[in-house]
Amino acid sequence: VVISLKETDTTFDFLGPFLDEINLSIERLKNRVPLSSIVFFTRQLATMFSAGLTLERAIHGLGAEEKHRKFKKVLNEVSSSIRKGLNLSESLARHPGVFNTLFVSMTKAGDVSGNLNEILDQLASYLENLDDTRRKVKSA
């Protein structure tokens, strides 16, 4: 039996949890879905839904075309949740890192009122304006 003892430097061990949190934050930033992708998705969903496609079919199609790996996975999960019987707002609420409370609340209002196509259109317009404003601020 061979026993090996190594001396390790424990000087910075107290930084372990802090460094883990920094690494997690960096990973979140790398995987964050860009606002422009959410804007495009919302506008396309509003158009497809008002044209008569079901939510599940529209979201499934948009997920299949999505380039951003994380957003593609989220859209596939949302589509699957809707197929299993959840409404749109409940499906979106399962992904708080992608869809904020305003987005979820607006779609919930649309689900309840029966005006989802109008709500999606308004939400798309709001997000387009927000994205445009952010771009202008960045370029200034």
Cβ neighbours around 45 below 10 Å, total? 25
More confident residue, 7 or 98: 98
Angle at CA of residue 31, ends 46 and 140, nearest 5°: 75
Q: Is residue 46 part of a domain?
A: yes
CATH number of the domain within which 43 lies: 1.20.81.30
What's the pLDDT at 67?
Answer: 94
Q: Is residue 59 part of a domain?
A: yes
Domain hosting residue 102, numbered range: 34-139
Number of structural domains the chain divides into: 1
pLDDT > 80? residue 112: yes
Digit-coded pLDDT (tens) for 69-103: 999 999 999 999 999 999 999 999 999 999 999 99
CB 68 within 8 A of CB 34: yes
Digit-coded pLDDT (tens) for 22-71: 655 555 555 589 999 999 999 999 999 999 999 999 999 999 999 999 99
Contacts of 103 (CB under 8 A, 6+ apart): 38, 92, 123
